[in-house]
Amino acid sequence: MKKFKLLLLTFVFSFGLSIHSSSKTVPASFADLAERLMPSVVNISTTQTVVTNNNSFPFQFPPGSPFEDMFKEFGTPQERKSAALGSGFIIDEKGIVVTNNHVIQDAEDIIVRVNGDQEFKAKVLGADPLMDIAVLQLDTDEKFIPVAFGDSDKARIGDWVIAIGNPFGLGGTVTAGIISARNRSIGLSRYEDFIQTDASINSGNSGGPLFDMDGNVIGINTAILGRNGSIGIGFSIPSNSAKTVISQLIEFGETKRGWLGVRIQDVTQEIADVEKLDEPRGALVASVAENSPSEKAGIIAGDIILEFNGESIRQMKELPAIVARTQVGKNVEVKIWRNKKEIIKNVVLGRLETSDDFKVGKKESKENVEPKDIIIEDLKITVRKLTKEDIKKRKLPNQTTGLVVTQIGNSSPLLNSISPDSIIVEAQKTKIINVGDLERVVKKVLNSNQKTILFAIYNTQNQRRYIGVKLD
């Protein structure tokens, strides 16, 4: 028995050593790392003038009243100074600081505190609301200790990280945790690929750095989940996404993002089935902007973008970020899926900031008004022909044709995919002009082995979308 216990202990000890040796060492303390990094993390305070109405009375005095002049001042707009707090970090010894745009937005005065006691005025070199990044320059000739960016793509779920910032105005505060998730989208900005961490992040941490165990910045702390402080879920902009933007803000004072000129959506399993794509992947082109780089290159609605500039597109959300960081004016090779095969298109990228995305077309429609409701039995829906008045009212491209869905039956295969007032403009990549066009496509699909049909629609928000629907 004793021998068995000894063997068991030996096994457990050996197993523990094996795990330990195959993973990164858990630090006994973060003290040395924190001590080295804290001089590079700054506290930011801003002020701006806010105009408010100081009338605290729920009533008005009649004209000529002796109280009218006495209380007149209470009804006039009053100016007051509003203060805000945030964090940032130094990336250049000359005093260049990175923070969030929302920390300094509309600020009249920006004060940056370094090492807890040194205060400097700062000016904005450039700001990017789309990614929520700003770059500041301290007004001084002093030299500072900068930190370096790390490779956020190498950061793994479970890796140790520390956050340093100015929560609740308390000054340099260190918190530790792990990377909880990658590639998070939370609906805050156009370009989202957040690192999620359980390192405590609170109000005032915005703009501060998220460090790896080598002391490199792998994220910019930007948001928290919950209104009452940290609940263990915070979000950081990955350093690899931020570096290009920061460089442009320093060099040009503004961003110069690539622009493709397409509206895209996810490729569902149903769409992949219809298009004979091996699996749901890529970005489906829902619409193409007029006079855009995509239109000039011959990319059309219904194309599936599989690869851009040599980078594979697995999910739709990957494409905007890749396009944005690609040099404006570059001739880019785009691999697309069209008519069940791969083809290559060469696109000369435009600049997003100077584009007029999704202009309304100028071609005149030649269709006649035909508002009569017609039932399509195979789909269990009622439709009417799209009119010129519909196009004008909904601000659709003038050349748009299709059928407006007026009713959807409870047994319709479209019940959970579209809503009344949606407009069907294509079926199986065939343009729909009248009811007969749609009925012919539906019957063809029903008589095949496929039984899945691909619709192009305008939804009730007038966005062009593709949906795949099984008819059986």
**186/236 same-domain check:** yes
Q: What does the block give as tokens for 122? A: 């700062």
**160/113 same-domain check:** no
Q: What does the block give as tokens for 413? A: 């295969």
Is pLDDT at 219 greater than 90 in this prediction?
A: yes
Query: What CATH number did the domain enclosing 212 receive?
Result: 2.40.10.10
Closest CA to 309 of 288, 292, 328, 323: 323
Strand runs (DSSP E) across 255-377, as ranges?
258-259, 262-266, 283-288, 304-308, 311-312, 331-338, 341-348, 350-351, 374-376
Give the domain-ending residue among 252, 286, 303.
252
**421/404 same-domain check:** yes
How far apart are alpha carbons 77 and 294 in whole angstroms? 50
Question: For residues 421 and 13, which has the higher predicted lDDT (pLDDT)?
Answer: 421
Catalytic residue among 40, 189, 206, 239: 206
In a domain, 143, yes or no: no
Half-sphere exposure of 56 (CA within 13 A, CB side): 1
Which of 49-63, 81-95, 367-381 has the weakest average pLDDT? Answer: 49-63
Query: What CATH number did the domain enclosing 394 receive?
Result: 2.30.42.10
In angstroms, what CA-CA distances link 52 with 60, 74, 77, 108, 137? Answer: 18, 11, 5, 17, 31
In a domain, 288, yes or no: yes
Catalytic residue among 40, 45, 128, 132: 132
Domain that residue 311 falls in: 258-354
Give the domain-ending residue among 213, 232, 252.
252
Is pLDDT at 39 greater than 90 in this prediction?
A: yes
In a domain, 243, yes or no: yes
In a domain, 183, yes or no: yes
Beta bridge partners, 98, equal 89, 135
Percent of the chain with pLDDT over 90: 53
Q: What domain count does the chain have?
A: 4
How far apart are alpha carbons 316 and 282 in whole angstroms? 6
Decide if 266 is catalytic.
no
**75/113 same-domain check:** yes
**349/313 same-domain check:** yes
Catalytic residue among 40, 87, 102, 152: 102
pLDDT grade, residue 48 (50/70/90)? confident
**165/248 same-domain check:** yes
Q: What does the block give as tokens for 258? A: 């690539």
Residue 50 confidence (pLDDT): 59
Average pLDDT of 197-219? Answer: 92
How far apart are alpha carbons 429 and 284 in whole angstroms? 13
How far apart are alpha carbons 80 and 177 in whole angstroms? 39
Average pLDDT of 256-278? Answer: 92
**40/126 same-domain check:** yes
Most confident option among 88-92, 446-450, 460-464: 88-92
In a domain, 146, yes or no: no
In a domain, 47, yes or no: yes
Q: Are 305 and 317 in contact (CB under 8 A)?
A: no
**272/349 same-domain check:** yes
Residue 14 confidence (pLDDT): 35
The mean predicted confidence, pLDDT, of the chain is: 83
Which of 149-153, 196-200, 449-453, 454-458 has the weakest average pLDDT? Answer: 449-453
Average pLDDT of 53-75? Answer: 52
Residue 98 confidence (pLDDT): 97
**427/332 same-domain check:** no
**156/234 same-domain check:** yes
Decide if 20 is catalytic.
no
Q: Are 146 and 91 in contact (CB under 8 A)?
A: yes
**What is the phi/psi pair of residue 415, to 5°?**
-55, -45
pLDDT grade, residue 9 (50/70/90)? very low
Decide if 206 is catalytic.
yes
Is pLDDT at 66 greater than 60 in this prediction?
A: no
pLDDT in tens, 112-139: 999 878 999 999 999 999 899 999 999 9
Question: For residues 39 and 362, which has the higher predicted lDDT (pLDDT)?
Answer: 39
Give the domain-ending residue among 252, 272, 292.
252
In a domain, 18, yes or no: no
Percent of the chain with pLDDT over 70: 82
- pTM for this model (two decimals): 0.68
Beta bridge partners, 124, equal 136
In a domain, 367, yes or no: no
